[in-house]
Amino acid sequence: ASAAPAAASDMQAKVEAAYLFNLTKFVDWPALPANEVRICVVGDEAVGGLMADLSGRPVRDRTLKIEADNIADPAACQILFIGRGDKRLPELLGRVRGTPVLTVSDQEDFARRGGMVGFYADAGKIKLEINPDAARTANLRVSAKLLEVARTVAKP
């Protein structure tokens, strides 16, 4: 096994974790818990581990709380990241449907399949694809600044 793919996937996990952290600044929730912003990560140990390192950081006058893997209630998360390796995508999206949870994934065509923010690779960079209708349905407001740097998609 060569080190290049591992280094590339490490870099991808770092970029995705940075995006997850920064998404908290560009999305408005109808009501945030008084003391924390919760980001939940399933199906990606690398991103989960990197996010765990950020746990406890201040964000939006609250404390960042990270939950990974065994998430009791995905609807209690502000952001739910579903990693490429997780096969429960339809189930997880179903469990948060109608709740103000920002769904994010690096699974192919995630935003087109009803998710809100999808990561995709373009010329070696990780970019964002946003489904504004899915976010609006969940009562989330995505900042115009974020929409400017992302590709927007609609559900077919």
| pLDDT 10s digits, 118-128 | 999 999 899 99
Looking at residue 146, what is its pLDDT? 95
34-85 pLDDT, tens digit per residue, is 899 999 999 999 999 999 999 999 998 999 999 997 888 999 999 999 999 8
Give me the torsion for CA of 130, 135, 137, 139, rounded to 10°: -160
Q: Which two tokens stand for residue 8?
A: 């590339």
Residue 155 confidence (pLDDT) above 90 = no
Beta bridge partners of 129: 118, 151
For the entire predicted model, the pTM comes to 0.93
